[in-house]
């Protein structure tokens, strides 16, 4: 998407030096636009773990580029352990960074399968680069298509609103910053706005790391989409007062039965939506389905991050990023990164192939090749 009048993806190969991956370091947004250069798989693992890059789609694309850098490193040290051993080690290193977004292991496995087809190390490096680029291009294209399918839903709502704004509520950041481009939950919003439909977005701040107030608000502002930041606990109140026409969120891992793991707090918004008959949609590319799982509550690994993220807050002060202590130093804190919304609370899934219900029968109908 555009930043100012320049088009940006969230991650790309440095023009003129294919051994360097460049990415937007999201830790500094919205106050500073920082481009980071990554040259090793170790640096990419750090960028994922410490959330320089985050969001399921972008975590997958970053892991894809991470395996490419690992192939370059393996080619540079043929005397060390065999190339395939070095790549297996790199794969384990990347997979160990964050547990919930399935796109991470999906991208690493796809790279291992393709790289294995290489007869020599240079062929393996070339295959790794081609695969990393395919993962990124597909991610962007699938999000663009999610936008088109989601636009139809917003158009249906617009017909009932007689020109008044369609109020969409979203949680966390499932925008272009969480993918390579376009975003999942934001793609229908951008498509509707660009087609002239009056949309307004309620942006839940998304404590403790504020992906909503920092990243989603920044994205929407850059694109000129009207939006209002709210405290996370405000969503139910707005739904009770009919101020929300539609909820669209992303997902880090959705099961074959339609159970949806997403940023902590999503489940509470799904409950409020159900209680107030507000349509609750989840937008995802097929790379975010875990085709092996059915019971999300029992089977999806939920990331726990440091207590400090809850007890502190960070922000911009006198030209620099600072962290301030909010809670008493001695008080313990728990920091679950994600929760699971059962499929029964989800009105529908917006995918690159169209919209389906959040149940196995409907998902299989849209993805018959996954019906093993």
| Part in contact with ligand MRU (CB under 6 A); list of ranges 80-88, 122-130, 170-178, 228-236 | 170-178
* CB proximity list for 309: less than 8 A, separation 6 or greater: 208, 209, 335
How far is Cα 180 from Cα 216, in angstroms, rounded to an integer? 15
The answer to whether residue 214 forms part of the interface with ligand MRU (CB under 6 A) is: no
Q: Are 313 and 323 in contact (CB under 8 A)?
A: yes
For tokens 């159900």, the residue is 274
Choose which of 23, 45, 55, 65 interacts with ligand MRU (CB under 6 A).
Answer: 55
> Which residues 255-284 are close enough to bind ligand MRU by CB under 6 A?
262-263
Residue 252 annotated to the active site? yes
The answer to whether residue 54 forms part of the interface with ligand MRU (CB under 6 A) is: yes
Q: Are 173 and 216 in contact (CB under 8 A)?
A: yes
Mark residue 25 as left, alpha or beta (left: phi above 0; alpha: psi -120 to 50; beta: remaining): beta
Residue 73 CB, shortest distance to ligand MRU, in Å, is 26
The answer to whether residue 184 forms part of the interface with ligand MRU (CB under 6 A) is: yes
Decide whether 125 or 168 has the Cβ nearer to ligand MRU: 168
Decide whether 72 or 174 has the Cβ nearer to ligand MRU: 174
Q: Are 165 and 199 in contact (CB under 8 A)?
A: yes
The answer to whether residue 210 forms part of the interface with ligand MRU (CB under 6 A) is: no
The answer to whether residue 285 forms part of the interface with ligand MRU (CB under 6 A) is: no
In this structure, the number of other CB atoms found within 10 A of the CB of residue 1 comes to 18
Site string for ligand MRU, 68-107 (x = CB under 6 A): ---------------------------------x------
Q: Are 255 and 296 in contact (CB under 8 A)?
A: yes
The answer to whether residue 251 forms part of the interface with ligand MRU (CB under 6 A) is: yes
The answer to whether residue 60 forms part of the interface with ligand MRU (CB under 6 A) is: no
| Part in contact with ligand MRU (CB under 6 A); list of ranges 89-97, 217-225, 249-257, 325-333 | 249-257
Point out which residues pair with 38 in neighbouring strands.
21
Q: Are 323 and 312 in contact (CB under 8 A)?
A: yes
For the chain, how are helix, strand and coil distributed in percent, rounded to 5? 45, 20, 35
Q: Residue 141's closest CA among 188, 108, 195, 181?
A: 181
The answer to whether residue 136 forms part of the interface with ligand MRU (CB under 6 A) is: no
Question: Residue numbers of the site for ligand MRU (CB under 6 A)?
Answer: 54-57, 101, 172, 174, 178, 184, 211, 250-252, 262-263, 337
Point out the residues that are catalytic. Answer: 252
């Amino acid at each position: 998407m555009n930043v100012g009048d320049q088009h940006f993806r969230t991650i790309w190969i440095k023009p003129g030096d294919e051994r360097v991956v460049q990415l937007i370091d999201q830790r500094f947004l919205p106050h500073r636009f920082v481009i980071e250069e990554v040259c090793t798989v170790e640096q990419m693992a750090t960028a994922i773990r410490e959330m320089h890059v985050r969001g399921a789609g972008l975590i997958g694309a970053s892991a894809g580029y991470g395996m490419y850098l690992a192939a370059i490193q393996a080619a540079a040290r043929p005397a060390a352990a065999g190339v395939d051993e070095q790549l297996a080690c790199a794969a384990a290193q990347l997979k160990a960074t964050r547990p919930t977004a399935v796109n991470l292991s999906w991208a690493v496995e796809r790279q291992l399968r393709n790289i294995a087809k290489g007869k020599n190390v240079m062929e393996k490096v070339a295959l790794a680069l081609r695969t990393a680029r395919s993962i990124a291009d597909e991610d962007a294209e699938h999000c663009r298509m999610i936008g088109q399918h989601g636009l139809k839903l917003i158009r249906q709502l617009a017909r009932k609103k007689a020109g008044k704004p369609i109020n969409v509520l979203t949680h966390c950041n499932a925008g272009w910053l969480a993918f390579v481009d376009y975003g999942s939950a934001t793609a229908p919003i951008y498509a509707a706005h660009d087609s002239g439909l009056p949309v307004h977005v309620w942006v839940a701040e998304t404590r403790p790391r504020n992906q909503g107030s920092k990243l989603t608000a920044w994205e929407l502002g850059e694109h000129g989409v009207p939006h209002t930041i709210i405290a996370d606990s405000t969503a139910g109140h707005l739904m009770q007062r009919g101020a929300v026409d539609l909820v669209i969120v992303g997902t880090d891992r959705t099961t074959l039965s339609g159970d949806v793991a997403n940023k902590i707090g999503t489940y509470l918004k799904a409950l409020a939506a159900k209680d107030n008959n507000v349509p609750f949609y989840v937008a995802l590319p097929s790379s975010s389905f875990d085709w092996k799982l059915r019971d999300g509550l029992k089977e999806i690994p939920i990331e726990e991050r440091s207590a400090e993220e809850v007890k502190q807050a960070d922000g911009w002060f006198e030209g620099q990023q600072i962290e301030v202590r909010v809670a008493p130093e001695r008080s313990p804190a728990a920091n679950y990164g994600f929760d699971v919304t059962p499929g029964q609370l989800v009105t529908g899934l917006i995918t690159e192939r169209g919209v389906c219900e959040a149940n196995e029968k409907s998902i299989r109908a849209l993805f018959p090749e996954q019906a093993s």
